[in-house]
Amino acid sequence: MSRYQPIYYWIDEYAIPSLPSIVIYDAHLDVDIDSDGDICFTQIAMRDDNDKVVRFIKGDWLFDILVKNIYADKNMMSYICKEASLDNDE
């Protein structure tokens, strides 16, 4: 059994470490749990300049780059794991 639960994780601002010229604002990650009970990401959603919701999934360049960087970012993963934890009392 996993120690995590699916959540939406809100990102106020995140500079992508491997592409510091790209900053993500006001987006959310769909956080799910894979068959091993570990955290995985299924979608990123944000609004474009016309206030339309734009979604990115695996295979989209932005999703793939962002997810790769988030997995490598120990601080970000710590925050996400804390929010998704079944033991989170907050």
Q: How many CB atoms lie within 10 A of CB 62?
A: 16
Identify whether 67 is part of a domain: yes
Any domain includes 90:
no
Flag whether pLDDT at 88 surpasses 80.
no
The domain in which residue 13 lies consists of: 7-82
Domain-located, residue 87: no
**pLDDT tens figures, 25-82:** 999 999 999 988 899 999 999 998 899 999 999 999 999 999 999 999 999 999 999 9
Give the chain's length.
90
Q: What three-state secondary structure class fits 68?
A: helix
* Residue of 22, 35, 3 whose CA lies nearest to 68: 22
Classify residue 2: in a domain, yes or no. no
Question: What pLDDT was estimated at residue 35?
Answer: 87
43 Cα distance to chain centroid: 8
Q: Which two structure tokens, joined as six digits, stand for 19?
A: 């592409």
Inform me whether the pLDDT recorded for 89 exceeds 60.
Answer: no
Amino acid at 35: S
Query: Is there a domain that residue 18 lies in?
Result: yes
Inform me whether the pLDDT recorded for 90 exceeds 80.
no
H helix or E strand, kind and range, residue 28: strand 23-33
Q: Phi, psi at residue 56, to the nearest 5°?
A: -125, 135
Domain count, the chain: 1
Residue 89: inside a domain, yes or no? no
